[in-house]
Structure 1
Amino acid sequence: MCGIFCLLSFSPVESPTDQRLHQNLSRRGPDSTQDLTVTHAHPFYRCLFSAHVLHMRGALTPQPERDAAGNVLLWNGEIFSGIAVAPEENDTRVMARQLSLCDTPAELLSVVSRVRGPWAFAYYQQAQHCLWFGRDFFGRRSLLWQFDAEAEALTLTSVGGDCSPTGADPWLEVPAAGVYRIDLKAGRVAGTGGVTLEVYPWATGGCGLPSPENVPSNCVATMNQWGLVLPSPVSPLNMLLPEVEVGVLPSSPPSSVVATDLEEVLASRERTGEVDHLNAVLSEAVRRRVQALPGDIRDQSLTDHASVAVLFSGGIDSMILAALADRHVPAGQPIDLLNVAFKLQEPKTQKQQSTKKKKKKPETDQNDPTTDSTNVPKVSEISSPFDVPDRLTGRAGLLELQALNPERRWNFVEVNVTQEELQRTRRERVRHLVQPLDTVLDDSIGCAMWFAARGEGFVTQDGDRTPFSSPAKVLLTGIGADEQLAGYSRHRVRFQTSGHQGLVQELGMELGRISSRNLGRDDRIIADHGKEARFPYLDEDVVDYLNSLPVWRKADLSLPRGVGEKLLLRQGARALGLGPSALLPKRAMQFGSRIAKMENSHERASDRCNRLLSA
């Protein structure tokens, strides 16, 4: 993985260097840093390429990678399948070799479309005088762009800086709509000094041409003149509806429904071929991601240090990832379980609560455990101000994993965050990484994920609690499960109002927007620690299989929370030998970690967050 940067300038006047931007990039790639400049005289253009490499595979390969013909590649990605990469090879060099054989746009698109795995890239073809760039189908790697009219320069970068230069627009995320091409000899917009962007969109499932508001001003995105498209890596979503629409139950189980009742409901569901197939493709997705590691780690079956960590709440998504990682990580290696908690605020006295002025109730998520009494920690369970809901379910999940494989060393890392540390880190690090996103939800999830990914906290073994810092470079995260298997409360609401047809439409929208709502932000946050986020639930084979199933095979929202949403995954958890975690209702990270209660609890998730804007 890398921090990549490309500055395309049509002016002979050199632009000043943004030192903070390059510091942000260097944190993503601490193992190698290198710059390369390509200049052409008539017509004039200059490309400055810069790369900061995190070594993850084969021999350390510095970037930018330039071949004998003068072509230059910046590659921030992982090839898990689709193009052969031998264990001793580096996928940057493999990709550069494949692209060097391409003379036509169709040939280049054929290479890019075969890659299975996350990627963002920029590629300069010297003979054709063109610059290609883009993000993968799901947008699992960040790529931002910005055009500076005064400097006549377009910037592409994995992460932005503190602010935009004078004359430049704010940073925008490059839409994961396809691959873009700039003709460096003729690709200018007449009268504006801007750039014409030829788009090669995904054939199905993508969003077509990007919306004008997502394209830098003075730049124009147009369909390529050949009408070429990239074949989608996954099949279209199955839109089939059941012949008979079923009724629905309340969104939360009544107080009379207890865990044993939910156990019986789940047990009554027959284990089907779909369950085994899902577990098989998920297992393979995890295998690809935990075994494609740096050579100095991969070849050691015994080590005191974990090479793989899981962003871990004890919920079903992270429990399944941990259980599957246990199958493929060498038996002698530990697995780190990173569990973040924000310090619980002191409860107000009855007098303070009665005299406090009533405020408008904020918009809440039904996944917030404070709205579901079955998930609120009992006073007797709380022995620490960091005993938030995710800490308690995390400890319970640890016991399940220890029972599943008592020989494995599971490092349950308690990452504890105070309000003072949160505010300082947001100001110094997170607000620069979250941009261009700026909502309260982006703030909450971005901050929680940053601290969790850093992996600094405490572990308890044999009754001794000691400081601990996770060395794992690979972080597995459960993003993508809820979007495909109807895990969010909004899915249940849509089902109650519009039935299966509305639910299918909602799920179709989820994957279509996941690149702009989640994945670019999460990549920028996690990579800031020189670590790499990997998303098994968004493996192309996993998504392809789930897309092939009718919606009622994946979820049954006529059943109560804790069973109906992600039903197929819950059945899969049972087949893997997991216990109570298979029945935990969805709990959003901002609520489970209690970061949502740390600042202004009356904010709405969609509000613009002033804390991200303040210096």
Structure 2
Amino acid sequence: MCGISLSLRLVPHHSSSSVQDHLSKSLEAPIKARGPDSYQTFQTRIPLDSQWDVELTLSVSVLSLRGTGTVRQPVVTHRGVLAWNGQIFQGVHVGKEDNDTAKLAELIDSTDVDDPRALLPHIEGPYAFVFFDTKTQTLFFQVDPLSRRSLLIHPIDHNAPMQTFMLSSTRVESLSRLQDDPRVSDDNESHVADFLQRLASSVRRRIENIPNPRSGDARVAVLFSGGVDCSLLAALIHRFIPADEPIDLLNVAFAQLPDAKSVDLPRFDVPDRLSGRQSLGELRAACPRRQWRFVEINVSQKECEEHRSAVMDLMYPNATEMDLSLAYPLYFASRGQGHAQAEAYEPYSTAAKVYISGLGADEQLAGYARHRGAFQRDGIGGLLDELQKDLDRLPTRNLARDDRLISSHGRESRYPYLDLSFVTYLSSLPLSIKCDLSREGGDKALLRAAAAKCGLTETSQRIKRAMQFGTRSAKMSGQDKPRAKRGQQLANE
């Protein structure tokens, strides 16, 4: 994982150096925060005419997660300059001792395609890709089809003395159209087994290349509400991590203010804290030899106020009350500071650099209340349309924003449910296999059956609760206001 900042701007032809513009300066600190292992800058000039040059500045920070050492970026090759914020899980062979950035740089140099982006459709994994071809003086950039890594474009300020183009936008590719087949399978067990096998493969690809942690540290953490989506992922991660290593379960709760007449201290017994403890019990029963480290991240109202400006900067250009209520839990989870039970209940900060998220399960398996509403109003066709809308909106509504928040403290988010081969597999299944909204508890039916098969019986029956209400972050952001005000734009701060 890394942070990328690229600027293109006009500078006088004969000037010896240029002063870094305000926008570039403002991005330097958050870019460095994304990748604490290295930071360096590549700069060059391209003559435009007799008076002006185009100055290209590419700065990259690196959080080293692949190979035996840190590969500093940008990588300068025979052909050009590469910045790669991503992971290669399939499509290009990357051994356990190899670095995927170095492999990609070698691949670009060894091929004669005019546009290096032609190599990207063969790659499965999240990425933001920037490549400057020094031979043709062409800039290429792209993100993966689901925009799992953030790359924004800052608009050019035509009133500024020096007009600057800066990268930071999402390139949204079309997603496979969800397919429906009215046939009902006679062998649900085989579908459950197939679902588990495919999801487990997606999980394995996302954790097998994480460097070995120090003794007692966790190599991976799960964003853990106690819901069925994240609990199933935790159970599958258990299969691929050495038995003597802990797995951190990060559970965020926002202070519940005491009654005005009460002298009690703020409480953190929010719904996600309670369901998290219940699911923890089932994981311990199902996988008794594993050290499941339940990390309670308690956030006070004062902390929310102190970090509000930083959170709003990170979630930009998303700027509604709802965005803020979703951003708070991810931001404080990224910070990774809480309490855990060891010899005593004591302060604890996770050392894990990779966070596993359950995002994508609800969007593909009809986990939201609006899916049931669409089905009740318009039947199968209405449900299909609503599912497709959710899948199409993931890049702009969730993934790029979440990437900026989680990476703000040098962490990387990985999404097993959004592995492209897994998305294609789910899209090929009949709706009747994935869910049955004609009955209570029929949402995400396939996933719930898989969780029960893994020993998470009670968790498999747990109802969906939105993150902002499960953690009670909605009360901190103002999203507990009347519905008409929840989507309103936040005032500039």
Q: TM-score range by the shorter chain?
A: over 0.9
* Between 325-334 and 43-52, the greater mean CA deviation after superposition: 43-52
| Residue matched to 1:95 | 104
SS at 1:239 equivalent: coil
Question: Which residue, 358, 362, 374 being the options, matches 1:482?
Answer: 362
**SS of match in other structure, 1:467:** strand
- C-alpha displacement of 1:510: 1.2
- Of 132, 153, 157, the residue aligned with 1:148 is 157
> 2: distance between equivalents of 1:48 and 1:461?
47
* Distance in 1, Cα, partners of 2:105 & 2:41: 17
1:101–1:152 distance in 2 versus 1, CA, 3 Å: farther
Comparing 39-48 with 597-606, greater Cα deviation is found at 597-606
Shift of 1:96: 1.1
- In the other structure, the counterpart of 2:180 is 239
Say whether residues 1:406 and 2:288 are aligned partners. yes
* Residue in structure 2 matched with residue 284 of structure 1 by the alignment: 201
What letter corresponds to residue 551 of structure 1 in structure 2? L
The one-letter code sitting in structure 1 at the alignment partner of 2:473 is I
Which residue pairs with 2:170 in the alignment? 174
Task: Decide whether the 8 Å contact of 1:415 with 1:456 is kept in 2.
Answer: yes
What secondary structure does 2:238 align onto? helix
1:154-187, Cα deviation, whole Å (9 max, x unpaired): 1014xxxxxxxxxxxxxxx33323xxxxxxxxxx
Runs of 4+ in 1 over 4 A off after TM superposition: none
Say whether residues 1:417 and 2:358 are aligned partners. Answer: no
Determine the structure 2 residue equivalent to 1:265.
Answer: none
Partner of 1:565: 443
Measured after TM superposition, the shift of residue 384 of structure 1 is: 7.2
Matched, 1:333 2:245: yes
CA distance in 2, matches of 1:497, 1:99: 51
Q: Are 1:498 and 2:378 an aligned pair?
A: yes
3-state SS of paired residue (1:559): coil
Q: 1:3 to 1:290 in 2, by over 3 A?
A: same
Question: If the length of structure 1 is used for normalisation, what is the TM-score?
Answer: 0.74
Counterparts of 1:426 and 1:571, CA distance in 2: 40
Tell me the equivalent position of 1:467: 347
Residue 575 to residue 421, structure 1, CA distance change in 2 (3 Å): same
Aligned to 2:273: 391
- What is the one-letter code of the residue matched to 2:234? A
1:526-568 deviation digits (Å, cap 9, x = unpaired):
00110100000001121111011011211110111xx211000
Superposition map of 1:57-456 within 5 A: 57-58=66-67, 59-69=69-79, 71-105=80-114, 108-146=116-154, 147-149=156-158, 150=160, 151-157=162-168, 173-177=169-173, 205-206=174-175, 235-241=176-182, 271-294=188-211, 296-297=212-213, 303-347=215-259, 385-427=267-309, 429-456=310-337
C-alpha distance in 1 between matches for 2:383 and 2:114: 38
- Aligned to 1:127, the other structure's residue is in SS state coil
Corresponding position of 1:37: 43
Question: Shift of residue 509 of structure 1?
Answer: 1.4
In 1, Cα distance between the equivalents of 2:6 and 2:111?
A: 21
Q: CA deviation at 1:31?
A: 0.5
Return the alpha-carbon distance in structure 1 between the equivalents of residues 26 and 356 of structure 2.
28
Q: How many percent identity over aligned positions? A: 40
The 1:105/1:347 distance shift into structure 2, 3 A limit, reads farther
Judging changes above 3 Å, is the alpha-carbon distance between structure 1 residues 348 and 492 closer, same or farther for their aligned structure 2 residues?
farther
Q: Check whether the contact 2:145–2:171 (CA below 8 A) recurs between aligned residues.
A: no
Aligned equivalents of 1:42, 1:402: Cα separation in 2: 64
Give the SS at the match of 2:409. Answer: coil
Structure 1 stretch 315-324 or stretch 41-50: which is displaced more? Answer: 41-50
Match of 1:537 in 2: 417
SS in 2 for 1:610: coil
What 5-or-longer segments of structure 1 have no aligned partner? 158-172, 178-204, 207-234, 244-268, 351-381
**How far has the Cα of 1:42 moved from its partner?**
4.5
Q: 2:481 aligned with 1:602, yes or no?
A: yes
Q: Deviations over 1:303-327 (max 9, x none)?
A: 2010100000110011001100111
Alignment match of 1:574 (pick from 436, 440, 452)? 452
Q: Is the 8 A contact 1:338 1:453 kept in 2?
A: no
SS in 2 for 1:318: helix
Query: Residues 445-470 of structure 1, C-alpha deviation per residue, up to 9 Å, x if partnerless?
Result: 101111122221111246x2111111
Looking at structure 2, the residues matched to 134 and 101 of structure 1 have their Cα atoms a distance apart, in angstroms, of 20
Q: Is the contact made by 2:225 and 2:273 (CA closer than 8 Å) also made in structure 1?
A: yes
The answer to which of 4-13 and 430-439 deviates more is: 4-13
Match of 2:2 in 1: 2
2:261 and 2:183 map into 1 onto residues whose CA distance is: 52
Question: Aligned pair count?
Answer: 476
AA partner of residue 193 (structure 2): D
Distance across 1 between alignment mates of 2:114 and 2:432: 41
Stretches of structure 2 lacking an aligned partner (at least 5 in a row) = none
Provide the C-alpha distance between the structure 2 equivalents of 1:403 and 1:384, rounded to a whole number of angstroms.
Answer: 31
Deviation readout 1:78-117 (Å, 9 max, x if unpaired): 00111111111111111111122344346x3431111100
**Alpha-carbon distance in 1 for matches of 2:365, 2:229:** 11
CA contact (8 A) 2:151 2:167 kept: yes
CA distance in 2, matches of 1:94, 1:148: 37
Give, as a single letter, the amino acid of the residue that structure 1 aligns with 2:327: G
Q: Structure 1 CA distance, aligned partners of 2:279 and 2:43?
A: 51
Shift of 1:576: 1.2
RMSD (Å), alpha carbons: 2.1
Mapped to 2, the partners of 1:509 and 1:610 lie a distance apart of 25
Quote the Cα distance in structure 1 between the aligned partners of 2:384 and 2:275: 30
Distance in 1 of aligned mates of 2:217 and 2:430: 42
TM-score (norm 2): 0.92
